[in-house]
């Protein structure tokens, strides 16, 4: 039977790419597609040498381990020794994990009448199905995982430029990342950021701002529920120092954009609480951010 070495090499290349992406997913590190393919190409050298008289060079365990070091180095870049060894260990873990899964699939479909597990001129068909099916899944989860941990780039008590878009209103302000802000909306469990509306209305409707500032009529006024319903707002219960059973008027912004480390990110998985209490006595910031607001679906926009 004629064996097409280039297709067998391509299968090995994709498998190595999958292992590298899974390693990055477990480590919660963003590995670019280019670096992943670069590392996978280095790993696929074993297959290329198999068809040459130099196959013995990579046949020993020492050379295979050395090759894995090069794969990790070119995929994840230069790093501290302890971090590099961690990458190596997770790389081998990912290799055994995917290899075990593939072996399990072979055992599952092993049958004299089933051709899925039989080798062909282009390599094992089941391996192709497995690799081509797993690559988009791992890449999708890797990108999602990186997005979910983007908030770790924040610094405690650091101020950030931000834009809040609600209907036809765009608010430009500065927000303080407060690790003590653990406010969530009870039903949706969405994090709540707080905007200081004590002196500025930020272009928000007068009826809504009046409802926020008049704390006594918030619970007693007959029109308060009508105002909330019209603007699709809600009350969020919260506690402050020395006070409890308070209600904060919250609206659902269209999008919130933050400038983090020179790049703009946007998220929709957040509520905007409107406060009638001054947040900063020196007016350095007008919004208190939530440390988990960027754990939802976020997008890098610049």
Q: How far apart are CA 228 and CA 221, in angstroms?
A: 12
Q: How far apart are CA 85 and CA 27, in angstroms?
A: 12
10 Å CB burial of residue 20 (0-12, 13-18, 19+) is buried
Single out the catalytic residue among 178, 196, 201, 214.
Answer: 178
CB 26 within 8 A of CB 93: yes
Q: How far apart are CA 223 and CA 226, in angstroms?
A: 5
Where residue 284 falls (left for φ over 0; alpha for ψ -120 to 50; beta otherwise) is alpha
Per the DSSP assignment, residues forming a β-bridge with 250 are 234, 273
Q: How far apart are CA 40 and CA 197, in angstroms?
A: 54
From residue 84, alpha-carbon distances to 62, 75, 80, 145 in Å are: 18, 11, 6, 21
Instruction: For residue 52, give the 3-state DSSP assignment.
Output: coil
Q: In 10 A of CB 66, how many CB atoms?
A: 12
With DSSP H G I counted as helix, E B as strand and the rest as coil, what are the percentages for the chain, rounded to 5? Answer: 45, 20, 30
Q: In 10 A of CB 85, how many CB atoms?
A: 13
- Per the annotation, the verdict on 282 as an active-site residue is no
| H or E element at residue 259 | strand 255-260
Contacts of 83 (CB under 8 A, 6+ apart): none
10 Å CB burial of residue 113 (0-12, 13-18, 19+) is exposed
Catalytic residues: 178
């Amino acid at each position: 039977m004629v064996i097409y070495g280039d297709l067998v090499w391509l299968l090995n290349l994709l498998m190595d790419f999958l292992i590298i992406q899974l390693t990055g997913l477990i480590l919660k590190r963003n590995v670019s597609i280019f670096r992943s393919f670069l590392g996978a190409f280095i790993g696929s050298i074993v297959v290329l040498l198999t068809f040459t008289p130099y196959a013995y060079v990579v046949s020993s365990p020492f050379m295979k381990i050395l090759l894995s070091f090069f794969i990790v180095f070119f995929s994840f870049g230069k790093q501290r020794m302890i971090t590099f060894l961690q990458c190596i260990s997770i790389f081998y873990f990912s290799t055994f994990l995917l290899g075990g899964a593939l072996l399990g699939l072979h055992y599952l479909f092993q049958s004299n009448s089933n051709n899925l597990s039989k080798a062909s001129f282009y390599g094992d068909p089941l391996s192709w199905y497995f690799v081509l099916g797993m690559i988009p899944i791992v890449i999708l989860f890797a990108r999602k995982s990186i997005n979910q941990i983007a908030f770790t780039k924040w610094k405690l008590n650091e101020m950030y430029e931000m834009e809040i878009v609600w209907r036809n209103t765009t608010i430009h302000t500065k927000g303080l990342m407060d690790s003590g802000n653990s406010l969530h909306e009870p039903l949706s469990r969405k994090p709540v950021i707080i905007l200081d509306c004590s002196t500025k209305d930020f272009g928000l409707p007068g009826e809504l701002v009046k409802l926020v500032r008049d704390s006594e009529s918030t619970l007693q006024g007959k029109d308060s529920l009508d105002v909330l319903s019209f603007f699709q707002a809600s009350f969020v219960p919260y506690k402050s120092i020395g006070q409890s059973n308070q209600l904060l008027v919250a609206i659902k912004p269209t999008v919130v954009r933050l400038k983090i480390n020179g790049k703009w990110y946007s998220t929709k998985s957040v509520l905007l609480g409107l406060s009638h209490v001054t947040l900063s006595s020196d007016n350095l910031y007008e919004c208190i951010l939530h440390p988990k607001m960027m754990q939802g679906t976020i997008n890098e926009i610049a």
